[in-house]
Amino acid sequence: MSLSRSLAAALALGLSAGAAFAQDAAPLVTVVTADHPQTQLMAMVLTSQAAQQGHAVRVLLCGPGGDMALADGPEGVTAPQPPMGASPQGLLTQLIANGATVEVCAIYLPGLGADASVLIEGVTVAQPPAMAAAMAAEGSIVWSF
């Protein structure tokens, strides 16, 4: 089976299995700091799968990962990638549309010399006390890419 068919089958299975996993699904915090578009995309694929399986999803974007949230993001975050033609930012916007909370690190925008107006719709600036509480909450799952 080709890689694209395998990925398509896995995505379809995730959609049908989502309801079965919805009960008792721990909250998930995905932290993306990677600068490589393929790593960013895979982080969004896996996070999307977790959301479809019933996990409440929160995404924290820091450093180069924060570029995924820029309205005028670099080509690496917006360009379609094989095998499905998806981009990191495209899957991020789908997560937002499906109810995920997406935030950039509190120091990301000051580091750019910018304000929240440069972010795509649905992305906010993380408040460190709230993010720390979400990451440290009993039962929370934290993934880092």
Kindly report, residue by residue over 52-111, the tens digit of the pLDDT: 999 999 999 999 999 999 999 999 999 999 999 999 999 999 999 999 999 999 999 999
What is the model's pLDDT at position 122?
98
- Structure pTM? 0.84
Residue 76 and residue 120: Cα distance in Å, rounded?
16
pLDDT higher than threshold 80 for residue 4: no
What is the model's pLDDT at position 24?
79
Got the DSSP string for 9-43?
A: HHHHHHHHHHHHH-TTPPPEEEEE----HHHHHHH
Model confidence at 23, in pLDDT bands (50, 70, 90)? low
Q: Assess whether the previous peptide bond of 83 is cis (omega < 30° from 0).
A: yes
pLDDT higher than threshold 50 for residue 17: no
119-to-103, 109, 116 alpha-carbon distances in Å: 10, 9, 6
What is the model's pLDDT at position 15?
45
